[in-house]
Chains A and B, each alone.
Chain A
Amino acid sequence: MAEDRAPNGRSGETTLVRDISFCGVPENGSNASMVDVKDGRIIRIRPMHYDWKYDPERDMNPWKMEVRGSIFEPSMKTLIPPYSIAYKKRVYSPARIRYPMKRVDWDPQGAPGSTGPGGRNTQNRGKSKYVRISWDEALDTIVFEMNRIKETYGPTALLYQCDQHGENKVVQACHGAGRRLLPLWGGYTLQIRQPDSWEGWWWGSKHFWGCEPVGQGRQSNLLYDVAKNCELLLFWGCDQETTPWGWQGQLPSRLSYWYTELGIKQIYVCPDLNYAAAVHADRWIPVLPNTDAALYLAITYWWFKHGTYDKEYLQTHAVGVEAFEAYVMGEEDGIPKTPEWAAPICGVSARVIKALAEEWASKRTSVVIGNGGPGIRGPYATEPARLQNICLAMQGLGKPGVNQVKMIEWGLFDFPDQYAQPKPLRVPNLRTAYTGGHPSDTNHPSLPKTYVPKAILEGECDWWGCESETAPREDQFVHRFYPAEGCSRIHAVWTDSPSWITCWNSGNDYVRAMQHPDIEFMWAQHPWLENDALLADIILPVNTKLEEDDIAGDIFSGQYNLLFPERKCIEPLGESYSDYEIVCMLADRLGLLEEYTGGRSIPDLIKLGYETSRCADLISWEELNEKGYFVVPTAEGWEDEPAGFQRFYEDPGSDPLTTPTGLLEFEATGLKEHFPDDPERPPVPKWVAQGVSHEETVGTERSKKYPLLVISNHPRWSVHSQHEDITWLREIGTCKITGPDGYQYHPVWLHPSTAQKRGIEQGDVVSVYNERGTVLGAAYVTERIMPEVIYMDHGAKWDPIEPGVIDRGGAINTIVPRHTTSKNAVGHAVSGFLAEVEKTDLDELKRKYPDAFEKPFHPCAGPGLEACIMGGE
């Protein structure tokens, strides 16, 4: 394991294998990397080479796809993304928190709601500075406050925010290490995260085709199926050159080049020429944000009209087709959903819609998705999701070459039907040794993440579903309330995943909620001072994973699965500890340590991980440690695994779906039973322009004031909020743009025509605003975005000029819709909404907010610690 990286043995460096991926779920590790270390310092991070200690032919059973006279093989190295390579900069970031800190004007002796000297001053969260305190003082204060809150209100007054994403850790638990402690302590309220890349499929498609738990189609062996059978791929809001990076690396890129080489046509349907379309598209069809539902409807209209769909298949595989056809053809509402009807709504000409409908019907076509994107995270996302599924169904879903193909998360949550790549002999699983929170965890009471601001600001709310991130379709019919019966309202918040503001719905509401006097105490633990951590009363320093021992599996790469113990690369910086160690320290002070750990040490847990990894019979513990990693060979016969919905296609009776009828439900049985009159998620999917929850389309009253549609995909140069301080990435023109004041602003993509109308030029500092707030950015004037649409990817580091009102960092989620997917579906709706943009008068802003503009910032790394420490660092 500890071996000189130089073949001639002269470097004096030691090479360690580490998982540098960012999903933060124990089943979902990836991006195995080689970290070369010397004299306690990280020298470099590079792709891991599978054949370092193994002979591919002898040990790995290499797979290859041989199709149409061409061969595709996995690379002999991992295909890690740039932020894994640059991760050393994240480790040594100027934003690293090195010791415990306390908000300077928060006094735990103050009465709830108190302001001024000696008060709690909750209204100053986001504005206050911090002072260094000792670990003893920090832990004593937290334990005192926990017990005080419990005695005053009961333990459920503590809200624990502890969900993904983050560094992938197993034994050291990036998020949710307290989930096992708090029940021992007496209870708590768990924040339940919604899917934040699958909203439409989760809240919509599950009612169409089941596909628990995420609502996306069956993926088994689809990479091979596409190569063998597809003639056309429709990348619908999919950017496989962006979204998969932090999860699994860049095999999707290589595959996309190969599919082109095989002669498979690639069409990209999205408002932006995303990074995949930029290099792989045979055609780009720009569609106005969040209007995909209208486009799908027009396509089905064309098919119904011309009979160019698989009627026989629908007779045996689907229910409710007549009701859907009646809506599409206008029998229900008098409006036939013709291409001419859809064209002004979606911005695609009627003749192109017809050409697309005809090409789709005439070729073996799969729809390709990549999570996120502009089409699935918006208001009423359930509708485009179900309509996309319907289009596939009308062309014989499950037929060779006709599936919904994912370009990400191959093997999600350890589900066999999610394995799109050639299957490995075993899928390493480290769940038993994992100390953190899992998406399938439940707790009573719980609160949907989207409803946290509403609950705190309004004092009560109710919703349907959301028992966990993996709750089944039926859970969407369970009514839940805040405060739950016999439970308290929230009075304290513990966050170990402080990225709410820049990742969730209406971040400005969240800021106001945390400033509410009811929230008497808030503490955060995190490696970096960023985003929600800037609101906390106490901040605890966490180390990065390169400062910890652990164990990891790489299962998402699509190449080979790996299992490897992870050895500490450097000593922890400052006074930092791992999240798990911090929870152990809290447990100790609460007298619960033995009960919490079960008497297991960290080395015990690492060994336990190996023993329960499913690979212990394939390699000994000694050999694993000596070699430093284990490559799981490819399974024999992987070629014969059924592809996607193949079995359902062949015989729906023997392989039914998990819908009530076991079939594809064009009219959803469950929705018809429970929400028959919901116009925002009707039993038959529809085009919903506006409703009680949202008014975010062009043509609405709001659009007169805010005429531009904003899309906000997952970022190219970071994973949600992670990596925002890596100076080398910030030099890339699509990552940050330096303004005239030397501050690196987040790019706002504008078409030249959109910019010109507003007198905006490339590089200008601009304000993106609506009634929910203002976000600054810098104009990136480009032909990569369609007119009347602006693009700003999410996750930029929040840097408030006035917290809850105006942000300089570019955190676009501060002004996204506050309402959820729809009235009865509490997903977040964070892309495809209205705003206006104008050139910013920086001088005027500086006059108005002198303090904000005098705050120091690192010229290359952005806002860091120095702006927040009392008297400088």
Chain B
Amino acid sequence: MGKVMVIDYGLCNGCYNCQIACKDEHVANDWSPYAKTQPDTGQFWNKVYDNVRGQVPKVMVTYEHSICQHCDDAPCIAACNAHAIYKRDDGIVIIDPEKCRGNRMCIAACPYENVIYFNDALNIAQKCTFCAHLLDDGWSEPRCVDACPTGAMVFGDEDDSKIKALIARAELLKPELAEVKPRVYYIGLPKKFIAGAVFDQEDDLCAEGVTVTAANGESGLKATAVTDSYGDFWLRGLEDGVYTLLIEKPGYLTQKLGPVDVTRKDINVGDIGIWKA
């Protein structure tokens, strides 16, 4: 039975326990033949990255995670000319620290970022092992998952019904790379948002019940939100692109706003005043 990991960004509070526990496990502890020691700093076999999204006061943080995807058709295995990288029966991909010759072909071949690191002192490539040394001792999950307080990281057998249910809700980090068959799944990968606040210019009061529609001129996609008692709207789950906003409320003049470009980042368009018709 193959092992898989599911990471739910919607439950990650950014405590970095996973990143720290990984270091606690692998720095200064030699788990040969699974892995040699990780340097004290500089390597993150399990890396957390703060994605601060939006502008004051419509801001949120999504904590993103880089970890070896333990691909079934792993490009690193194919690329290693020392044949040092192998796949276990449980799906885990291991760089054999004894066989590694430090040729760095794997680093070049890996299509993911921040996964394989080079240890200059030992002249070897190193990465996540899913703590295979612990699994082989009877542990049910690697250190990062054991350390996760919120349940944002789940580890188990791909045939387990609970895992299957999670995978059914999950996506791949890079859908375009499905052919390498990664074993890490993600829930809640960030999609762009447009947010703002609508108010009545005359009364200087927040405008509730305003319909805000974002239209992507290129794809024709549309998204709609209705403002709350603060006049706030959040248009979430948008595809990258350029949008035009339509701001409508019965009894008020309809307004258009744009272009709003969320190709590169989430946007708070700020406060929008509307006028009674």
Contacts and interface: CB of A to CB of B under 8 A. Distances in A.
A10 interface: yes
A74 to B, nearest CB: 12
A241 B13 contact: yes
A86 B50 contact: no
B232 interface: yes
Interface in A748-790: 751, 782-787
B229 A254 contact: no
B13 A86 contact: no
Interface string A17-43: 000000000000000000000000001
Contacts of A786: 56-57
Contacts of B12: 279
A70 to B, nearest CB: 14
A85 B20 contact: yes
B20 A729 contact: yes
A350 B146 contact: no
Nearest to A286: B57
B194 to A, nearest CB: 15
B138 A8 contact: yes
16 contacts: A6-B134, A6-B137, A7-B137, A46-B24, A85-B147, A250-B149, A254-B149, A279-B60, A281-B60, A284-B57, A355-B205, A355-B229, A728-B19, A731-B42, A732-B16, A732-B48
Contact of A784 (B19, B25, B52, B232): B52
B15 interface: yes
Interface string B1-26: 00000000001111111011101110
Closest 6 CB pairs of A and B: A7-B138, A6-B137, A278-B61, A79-B149, A250-B149, A82-B20
Contact of B232 (A82, A283, A751): A283
A733 B50 contact: yes
Contacts of B58: 284
A786 to B, nearest CB: 6
Interface in A682-727: 727
B147 A46 contact: yes
A440 interface: no
B138 A6 contact: yes
Interface of A: 6-8, 10-11, 43-47, 75, 77, 79-82, 85-86, 88, 241, 245, 249-250, 253-254, 257, 273, 275, 278-279, 281, 283-286, 349-352, 354-356, 358-359, 727-729, 731-734, 751, 782-787, 860
B150 interface: yes
Contact of A355 (B16, B206, B271): B206
B150 A253 contact: yes
B56 A81 contact: no
Contacts of A43: 29
Nearest to A249: B149
Nearest to A284: B57
Nearest to A43: B29
Contact of A257 (B11, B17, B44, B199): B11
B153 to A, nearest CB: 13
A786 B58 CA distance: 11
Contacts of B89: none
Contacts, number: 146
Interface in B17-63: 17, 19-21, 23-25, 27, 29, 40-42, 44, 48, 50, 52, 54-61, 63
Contact of A47 (B52, B56, B147): B147
Contact of B23 (A8, A80, A86): A86
A275 B48 CA distance: 15
Contact of B24 (A45, A79, A257, A355): A45
Contacts of A732: 16, 19, 48
B252 interface: no
A245 B44 CA distance: 23
Interface string B211-252: 000000000000000000111100000000000000000000
Nearest to A356: B230
B143 interface: yes
A44 B24 contact: yes
A241 B61 contact: no
B150 A257 contact: yes
B204 interface: yes
A82 B17 contact: yes
B139 interface: yes
B20 to A, nearest CB: 4
B150 A250 contact: yes
Given A44-B24, A284-B57, A286-B57, A783 B52 contact: yes
A88 B56 CA distance: 39
Contacts of B150: 250, 253-254, 257
Nearest to B15: A82
Q: Which of B137, B143, B199 has the most CB of A within 10 A?
A: B137
A358 B149 CA distance: 36
A77 B55 CA distance: 37
Contacts of B24: 44-46, 85-86, 88, 728
Contact of A11 (B19, B48, B54, B137): B137
B137 A10 contact: yes
